[in-house]
Amino acid sequence: MAKGKSKSGAGSGATDRHVYREFGPADPMARGVPDRPPNQQTVRVQVSRKGRGGKTVTVITGFQHSPATLTALAKQLKAQCGTGGTAREDTIEIQGDHAQKLVELLVAKGYQAKRSGG
């Protein structure tokens, strides 16, 4: 074995080390948002291309769900549209221009969905 620096502790629990964190929980996705029923939520559906290299993305904002519920809803919407996407904080992003279809799907699920923007 070569002499030199020891690598002790390099792979043992080094993932939870923080240099500085002033506010918030250790897990940023562990928000204290209660799951509100769909009929008490107004969501906005908007088509955007900003900051995405010219790619069109349908953004749905205004959800008041836990991250697990939001991820499950995003999975259902992606399957209905036949495309990819992601769930981030309180928004769902679906690849492509599916605004009209998503409004119809969300209204069918009980949400108060409105189309926003052009």
- What does the pLDDT average to over 60-68? 91
Domains of the chain, start order: 38-115 (3.30.780.10)
Q: What is the DSSP letter of 40?
A: G
| pLDDT at residue 92, as a whole number | 95
- What does the pLDDT average to over 20-43? 69
- What does the pLDDT average to over 63-83? 93
- What does the pLDDT average to over 78-89? 94
Longest Cα–Cα distance in the chain: 67
- What does the pLDDT average to over 48-56? 90
| pLDDT at residue 31, as a whole number | 52
Q: Report the b/e string of 72-107 with b at 16+ CB within 10 A.
A: ebbeebbeebeeebebeebbbbbbbebbebbbebbe
- What does the pLDDT average to over 88-109? 94
| CA separation for the pair 18, 21 (Å, rounded) | 7
